[in-house]
Chains A and B, each alone.
Chain A
Amino acid sequence: MTKFKDIGHISAIYGTLLNVKGFQNIKIKDLVKIKNSNILGEIIRIFPDYAVVQCFEDTENISLYEEVINLEEPLSMELGPGLLSNIYDGLQRPLNLIYKSVGSFLQRGVEVPPLSREKKWEFFPLKKLGDKVVGGDVLGVVQETHLIKHKILVPPKISGKISFIVSQGNFTILDNICKINSNGKDIDIQMLQKWPVYINRPYKSKYVSKKPLISGIRVIDFLFPIAMGGVVAVPGGFGTGKTIIQHSLAKWCNADIIIFVGCGERGNEMADILKEFPKLIDPTSKRPLMERTIFIANTSNMPISAREASIFSGVTMAEYYRDMGYNVAVLADSTSRWAEALREISGLLEEMPAEGGFPAYLPKRLSEFYERAGVVQTLGNERSEGSITLVGSISPPGGDFSEPITNTTKRFVQAFWALDATLAYSRHYPAINWLDSYSNYTENLIRWWKIKDIDWEEISIDWEECRSITNLILSRENELKNIVQLIGMENLPLDQQLTLFIANLIKNAFLIQNAFDEIDKFCSPRKLMSMIKLIFILYNKSKNLIKSGGIIDDIKELESIEVLNRMRYSIKNENIEEFSNIKKKMIKELEELGRKYEERF
C-alpha cells in the first residue's frame, strides 16, 4: 500500500455519495478506495476544498473521517488470457471466485483479481529478437480455450525493436514475456494489459461490412438482418421475449466471441443462462459454447453504479478481442436499466433533469456506447480485420416506444426489432412486429445472400426480391384483416383470400420460430431460403389455379400444406435436400388439383 500516498478523509455521507477532503492530486473519473472497508468509488466532482465520490457499493456503516485512498487511475479492465468462460460483475469482479471465497451472498469490499495470477499459459512467440514492432502487432499466441487463440498484442502507442522475447513455454500473466526497446528505453511487456473502460481502443480505420451476422432466427436474418459490426436495438414491454432473443443470439449467432451483459435484469435469468451454457455445444467445433463467451452479470439488485459501468466494461473487453481480429457480439440486456442507473446517479447529484427525469447528457452517453461498434482494420503491420456488433435491448415503460430511451436510441442504431405485446400474447414468438421494425443493412448484404441462395428452376427470385414480396403480402394482409372482420372471409375476392392464406402461412410456417425446439432453434441461411421459396412456389401455382376456377379450401386441404406447416421443426439444417422432395410432391399435388379443375370444366 506504500504506492498510494494521496489520502483524503470523508467529510459527508449521503446515499452512495461521499464528500472527501484532503486529496492533492485527483482527476475526474479516477478511482478511490475507502481504506477500512475496501469499497471502491469514482471521483465525479471536484470543488476547491473537497471532492465528490460515487461509491460502487452501499455506504452503510461508514462513518466520517475514514481514510480514502486515491488509486490515481480511472476504472480499467484487466485484459489477458483467462477472460473467456468467466462471469464478472460490472466492475470485472469474478463472481465465481467471490462465491468460492465468501459464499452465496455478495459482500462489500471483497478483493479478488479478475484474472488468475497463478495460472500458467503456454505462450508461442511469433516474433524474434530484433524484430521491429508497432502497437497492435502480434507478439505471440496462447490457446485460451479450444475455440479461441488468444493473441498477445503490442499495446497501442508502443513501438520499437524487440530486445528480449521468451521462447515457447509456460508463463503467468504477470511474467515478463518480452521487452521492446523504444527510444533507447526497454519497456516490459506482460500478457496482462489494462485499458480504461471509457476510452475507445484505437484502430486504423472503420468501415461498413458486407457480411451479415447470422442469428439463425428467420424473421431477423430474412426481414431485418444485421451486418457484422452493426448496431441494433430491441425494444419490448415485459413478456415480449427480449431476453429469449438475446439468449438465442448468444447461443447460435456466428460471431467468434460473445459478450453477454446482463445489466440490471433478473437474477434467475442469469442462473438460467449460466446453467444452460456449459451444456451447449458449438455445432461446428463440438466444443462447449462457454469457451467463446464472457458473462457480465449486474442484476437489478446489485449496486447501480456498477450497473452503469457494466456495458462499458463489456464493450472494452469486446474491443480487446476485436483487435486480435475476431468478430465479437456484445449483447446488452437491458440498456434501459443502464440509463436508469444514470438517472439515479444524476438525481443524487441534483442535476437538472431533462425528458423523463433522465439527465440531459443521456444521448451523448448512449452514442458513446453504440459508436464503439463497427468493423475495423486493426492496428499493427499485419492486415487484420475485426468487428463489434452491438445488440441492445430496451425495456420501455408500459411498452410505449415514444419514451426517451427508445427514441434516443433509434438515432444511433441502424436496425430496430420492435417487439409486440399482441404477438406475444397470441404466443407468436419471436414477437418481432414486421410493420414497425426496420433494418438499414439489407443493401450491403444482397451479394452475400446471392452466394448462399439455393438454385431452383421453378423460381428465379433472390433474397432481396423474396423480402420485398413478403413485405408486400404482410402489409396487404394488415389492410385486409379489418375488412374481413366486417364482411367475413368468404365474401372477399378469391385473390385476396389467397393473399390472406399465404400471409398466414408465412406467419405460422416461417416467421414463428421455437427457440426451445431442438431443430427449429437455429435456421441456416439455406434452410431459410428453401422454406420461403417453397411458400412462393405454392403462391405462384395457386394463383394460376384460382384463375382456372380453383377455390382456396381445396388448396388448404392439400397434404403439402401440413408438410409446410411442419417443415420448420421437422427438417434439419443438414438435410436441405429434403426440401427438393417436398417441392416435387407439392408441385405434383398442385398439378393434380389443376387437372381436376380442367376435367370439371
Chain B
Amino acid sequence: MSIVYKSINQIEGPLIFLKNNHKVVNGEFIRIKLESGEERNGKVIKITEEFIIIQVFQGTDGLALNNSEIEFFGESFSIPISKDMLGKTFNSLGKPIKIGTKETIKTEIIPITKKNINSGQINPFARDFPTEVIQTGISAIDGLNTLIRGQKLPIFTGQGIPHNRLIAQIVSQAKVLTGEPFLIIFCGIGIILDDAMFFMKKFLESGNIHNIINFINLADDPTMERLIIPRVALTTAEYFAYEEDMHVLVIMSDITSYCEALREISLAKGEIPSRKGYPGYLYSDLASIYERTGKIKDKKGTITQVPIISMPNDDITHPIPDTTGYITEGQIVLSRVMNKKGIYPPIDVLSSLSRLMKDTIGKEQTREDHSDVANQLYASYSEYIDVKSLQSIIGEESLTEDQKAILKFGDSFETKFINQNFNENRTFYDTLNTAWEIISILPRRSLIRINPKFIEKFYIG
C-alpha cells in the first residue's frame, strides 16, 4: 500500500522537496532507498500544494535528484515493542544492534504492539503526585536529594567530572524498596564509543542486565537521529510502565547533544534563533521529553527520568541547564572543586535540590528522622562554607569552639558522608546512620533543625 517517488525536486541541508503528487499526511514517516542499497528515513514536515518537504534523519549526503526511491507508508513513525527487548541494545529506530560494529542484528523480537513515538500528553488531572522513593545507594542522593518515582531529576555536570561512573553506579544499584518490578532504560544520545563500551561493560558486571534496555546513538551517528532516540526510549518506557506495571527509570546522557542537534536542524530550516542560537521553542521541546515522566492515577507503573546535562563551560546559566532546571523537579549538580578534592561522587550539595522529597521521605518510606537530618545537614554544611571562608581570613585560632566544631563536621561530612566507593551500596538506614555519626560531632544544643525526640534517640555520645 505504499507510494513511491522516484525523483527529488530540490535538496537543501537536511531537507528534500518532492513535487506533491498524492495525498500525504503531515508528520508521515518515509523511507529513502539509495541506489547503493543504503536505507535512510525521514519525516514530512511541511506540505504545500506544490511540494512535500521531508526532513531526512541521516542527512542528505550522497543524495541526488534521481538516485533514490522515496517510499510513503501513510503513517507516522512508530516502533515495535515487546518484552523481548529486555537486556538488549537498540539504535534510534528501535532496531537491535551490536555496539562496536553498529550492525543491526537479527534477534527474535516479536512485537506485541507498535507505538507512535509522539504519545499524547498526560492530562494534568490524570496525574497522581509522586510519593514513593527509589533507593540509589548513594548517600548524597538518597539522604539529601532523594529520588522519587515519577520525578525528573537531572544531573548537571561538566567534562572531566566522573558522571559516567555515577550513572553506572546508579544503574547497578537503583531499586524500589517495595519489591515491585523495576526496569532501567538507558538512552545514550550522541555519546562517544568509549563511553558506550564503558557503560555496556559496567551494566554487564552489575548482574542486572536483564532489567536494562539500552538505546544508543553514537557521536558519529546522524544528528537527526538524536532528536528521535529519547522519544523512542520514552515510548518504550511508557509501554513497560503503563501496560506492564513496571517502575521505569530512564537515564539519558547527554541532553546537551540532543539540544545541539535541535539547534542544528532549526538553523538548517532557517528558523529565527533565540539564546546562543538555540531555537525559541527549546523550552517546549525539552518539556515534551521531560514531562513524559510521572505517575498516573489508574496505573501501577511509573516513569522516572534522570537526564544528564553537561554544562558547556560549567555554566549553569547556559540555556540548556537553565531551561532544564525550569522544567525538572530539582537538580543534582556535580562540582569540579569537589572532584579535585578527590571526593566521589563530587556532588555540590548546596546547589542541588530535589523538589519532591519533602512530601515523601519519613517514617513510611525511609525513616522518621530523615527530613530533620537532611535539613540539619544542609544548614550546618552551609554554615561550614561560611566558617571556612572566615577561617581563611582570620585564621583558625580566632574561631570560637562552635565554629571549630563546624569545621570538623564539614570535613567529615565531605569525606565520610558524600564520599563513598564506586561499589558501595548504602541503604537508607546506612545513609542516615552515617549522617548521625557526623551530626554528633556538633554539640546537641546547636541542632536546632532536629526534633529533640530524634536527638534523644539517635545522637551518639
Let me know if A344 is at the binding interface, CB within 8 A.
yes
Contact between chains at A347 and B27 (CB < 8 Å): no
Rounded to whole Å, the gap between the CB of B234 and the closest CB of chain A is: 12
Let me know if B38 is at the binding interface, CB within 8 A.
no
In the bound complex, residues from chain B placing their C-beta under 8 Å from that of A237 are 325
Let me know if B84 is at the binding interface, CB within 8 A.
no
Contact between chains at B129 and A12 (CB < 8 Å): no
* Contact A357/B327 with A13-B26, A301-B121, A400-B317 known, Cβ cut-off 8 Å: no
Let me know if B351 is at the binding interface, CB within 8 A.
yes
* Contact A60/B76 with A12-B47, A105-B120, A427-B378 known, Cβ cut-off 8 Å: yes
Cβ < 8 Å to B, chain A residues 546-592: none
Find the A residue at minimum CB distance from B330.
Answer: A239
Let me know if B322 is at the binding interface, CB within 8 A.
yes
Map CB proximity to B onto A222-246 as digits: 1 under 8 Å, 0 otherwise: 0000000000000001110000000
Give the CA-CA distance A516 to B357 in the complex, in Å.
13
Give the CA-CA distance A62 to B23 in the complex, in Å.
10
Contact between chains at A425 and B350 (CB < 8 Å): yes
In the bound complex, residues from chain A placing their C-beta under 8 Å from that of B233 are none
Contact between chains at B47 and A64 (CB < 8 Å): yes
In the bound complex, residues from chain A placing their C-beta under 8 Å from that of B280 are 340, 343-344, 347, 357
Contact between chains at B119 and A301 (CB < 8 Å): no
In the bound complex, residues from chain A placing their C-beta under 8 Å from that of B351 are 425
Find the A residue at minimum CB distance from B76.
Answer: A60
Find the A residue at minimum CB distance from B271.
Answer: A347
Q: Which of A15, A63, A266 contacts B327 (CB 8 A)?
A: A266
Let me know if B287 is at the binding interface, CB within 8 A.
yes
Partner-binding segment picked from A152-160, A269-277, A494-502: A269-277
Contact between chains at B124 and A274 (CB < 8 Å): yes
In the bound complex, residues from chain B placing their C-beta under 8 Å from that of A104 are 122-123, 126, 242, 296-299
Contact between chains at B27 and A60 (CB < 8 Å): yes
Cβ < 8 Å to A, chain B residues 23-56: 23-28, 45-49
Q: Which of A11, A106, A340 contacts B122 (CB 8 A)?
A: A106
Map CB proximity to B onto A109-143 as digits: 1 under 8 Å, 0 otherwise: 00000000000000000000000000000000000
Map CB proximity to B onto A341-352 as digits: 1 under 8 Å, 0 otherwise: 101100100100
Give the CA-CA distance A488 to B387 in the complex, in Å.
12
Contact between chains at B125 and A274 (CB < 8 Å): yes
Contact between chains at B127 and A267 (CB < 8 Å): yes
Let me know if B434 is at the binding interface, CB within 8 A.
no
Work out how many contacts link A and B, with CB atoms closer than 8 A. 192
Contact between chains at B123 and A105 (CB < 8 Å): yes
In the complex, which range does the number of interface residues on chain A fall in? 35 or more
Partner-binding segment picked from A191-199, A366-374, A391-399: A391-399
Rounded to whole Å, the gap between the CB of A6 and the closest CB of chain B is: 21
Contact between chains at A297 and B327 (CB < 8 Å): no
Contact between chains at B274 and A61 (CB < 8 Å): no
Let me know if A219 is at the binding interface, CB within 8 A.
no
Partner-binding segment picked from A93-101, A281-289, A431-439: A93-101
Find the B residue at minimum CB distance from A65.
Answer: B23
In the bound complex, residues from chain B placing their C-beta under 8 Å from that of A268 are 127, 129-130, 150-151, 294, 329, 356
Find the A residue at minimum CB distance from B449.
Answer: A427
Rounded to whole Å, the gap between the CB of A525 and the closest CB of chain B is: 28
Contact between chains at B127 and A96 (CB < 8 Å): no
Q: Which of A60, A266, A425 contacts B118 (CB 8 A)?
A: A60
In the bound complex, residues from chain A placing their C-beta under 8 Å from that of B390 are 485
Give the CA-CA distance A353 to B398 in the complex, in Å.
58
A-B residue pairs, 8 tightest by C-beta: A398-B317, A300-B287, A60-B27, A105-B120, A301-B291, A271-B127, A238-B325, A104-B126
Could you tell me which A residues sit within 8 Å of B by CB distance?
11-15, 19, 58-65, 87, 95-96, 98-99, 103-108, 237-239, 262, 264, 266-268, 270-272, 274-275, 297, 299-302, 304, 337, 340-341, 343-344, 347, 350, 353, 356-357, 395, 397-400, 425-427, 485-486, 488, 516
Q: Would you mind naming 24 contact pairs between A and B with Cβ atoms under 8 Å apart?
A: A13-B47, A14-B47, A14-B48, A61-B25, A63-B24, A87-B125, A98-B125, A99-B125, A99-B126, A104-B242, A104-B299, A237-B325, A267-B122, A267-B124, A267-B294, A268-B127, A268-B329, A274-B125, A301-B287, A301-B292, A350-B272, A356-B275, A399-B317, A516-B358
